[in-house]
Amino acid sequence: MSKRVLTTESGAPVADNQNSASAGIGGPLLLQDQHLLEKLARFNRERIPERVVHARGSGAYGYFEVTDDVTGFTHADFLSSVGKRTQLFLRFSTVADSLGGADAVRDPRGFAVKFYTEQGNYDLVGNNTPVFFIKDPIKFPDFIHSQKRDPFTGRQEPDNVWDFWAHSPEATHQVTWLMGDRGIPASYRHMNGYGSHTYQWTNAEGEAFFVKYHFKTNQGVRSLSSDQAAELAGKNPNSHQTDLLQAIERGVNPSWTLHVQIMPAADAAEYRFNPFDLTKVWPHRDYPLQRVGRLVLDRNPDNVFAEVEQAAFSPNNFVPGIGPSPDKMLQGRLFAYADAHRYRLGVNHTLLAVNAPKATTARNYGRDGLMASNPQGRGVKNYEPNSYDGPTETGRALSAPLSVTGYTGTHEAPQHTKDDDFYQAGELYRLMSSEERSRLVANIAGGLSQVSRDDVIEKNLAHFHAADPEYGRRVEEAVHALRED
């Protein structure tokens, strides 16, 4: 069997891939060595800008199968019948660290699902926590700056982390999650996923509901202590990536059961919490979990760069029957995510294999741009409307309209009866066992005690006191004990 011939990128055969062309034996290299210059130039450009957040990621392909009838709440086609399967790609990630960071760190995890539906791709972009640190997108760049490496020291600084949280009392709920037992998942397979935001479902009759997504791991929740994580991160920085890859290669396909909480749209205005506040949950006793289906991962990517690094998710990729809510953080992300990918990957990133629709065909009038690979035939028009049988609008809205009233301006979110920044953090603390509370206190004190300014420490302690008196007292005592050592 003859070997395939190595060629340059233009297809010319390569005579020697071991030695560069030179001016005589041992002489300087020649500018005319096209193969050498092409290889070096491509090597310099192999990496694209990493994601500002969620840079460190892993992913896999799989499917979603409907197990329960939800057609009374949404007319989304991929949820239209029990037993229906939809192919998908799921990307896991850490949030704050860079592409070269370790997997086993105390950090939220991204849980982003791209459903390749027959009505187009539906992207559900969430985390492994049901809440987040902030409720308004205008604070997001500042929050991430506080969590990233300091521009002077080049490392994550407790002063920056805790100073931002000191000035952001709404973060108390998520801080309690992050510093608790589930703050470091043992693997991507052993954690839950959440849509986190509130979304809108619309049924065939046009009736609107607000929903929250919960993906419950069927492997069971397993987490690491701070000491276990530090040891694992040192021994195997790629621990979560390796675990996911090897499990699927062995045929041990991880799965999650999707449940939703469903709120009739009319309930939202009078609910005791603002249902569109990303720092709040809806207690299950108010809106119980309703099972929808099962998500299974069964195939690893062939190329991590092409299929994981270049995977682009945007929460504004909706399908008929699903739409946004007035959740401020979601509204900001409808722009920010897609724009991040246009910067990182280019305006034609949706044409890449991992991002392109698979169960349907994209038809639009987008043209040209960097790396365009969608040339149109002679005479095909690039404007709409036209008289040449080009694709046309349907006139059917994807979801129900949202009611608006009042004046434009920079408004704070409307207050509901239980809308303080500390009540739910206290509820979470009181749900924990005594052992869980002790570990939570130790995790918080370990970081907060490293802060150099007393006023920043005191502001944070006030948040924990407001959440629960015992919570605040124990954190305060632990911080003072560590600072006296």
Q: Tell me if residue 45 falls in helix, strand or coil.
A: coil
**Which two tokens mark 210?**
């607000």
Enter the DSSP assignment of 28.
Answer: P
Q: Report d(CA 337, CA 125) in Å as an integer.
A: 10
**How do beta strands 208-217 and 57-66 pair?**
unpaired
- Judged by phi (left if over 0) then psi (alpha if -120 to 50, else beta), residue 63 lies in beta
The terminus-to-terminus CA distance of the chain in angstroms comes to 72
**How do beta strands 290-299 and 57-66 pair?**
antiparallel
Q: Which residues of 365-377 are buried (b: 16+ CB within 10 A; e: fewer)?
A: eeeeeeeeeeeee
Q: Report d(CA 112, CA 187) in Å as an integer.
A: 16
Enter the DSSP assignment of 306.
Answer: I
C-beta of residue 209 within 8 angstroms of C-beta of residue 265: yes
Q: Which residues of 453-466 are buried (b: 16+ CB within 10 A; e: fewer)?
A: eeebbebbbbbbbb
Active site residues: 54, 127
Tokens 């954190």 sit on residue: 475
Q: Where are the alpha helices (DSSP H) in 270-413?
A: 304, 328-345
- CB count within 10 Å of CB 208 equals 22
**385: preceding bond cis by omega (within 30 degrees):** yes
C-beta of residue 411 within 8 angstroms of C-beta of residue 159: no
**13: preceding bond cis by omega (within 30 degrees):** no
Enter the DSSP assignment of 4.
Answer: P
Q: Report d(CA 88, CA 265) in Å as an integer.
A: 29
Query: Roughly what angle, to the nearest 10 degrees, separates helices 469-484 and 423-431?
Result: 80
At residue 266, what are phi and psi to the nearest 5 degrees? Answer: -65, -20
Residue type, 150: D
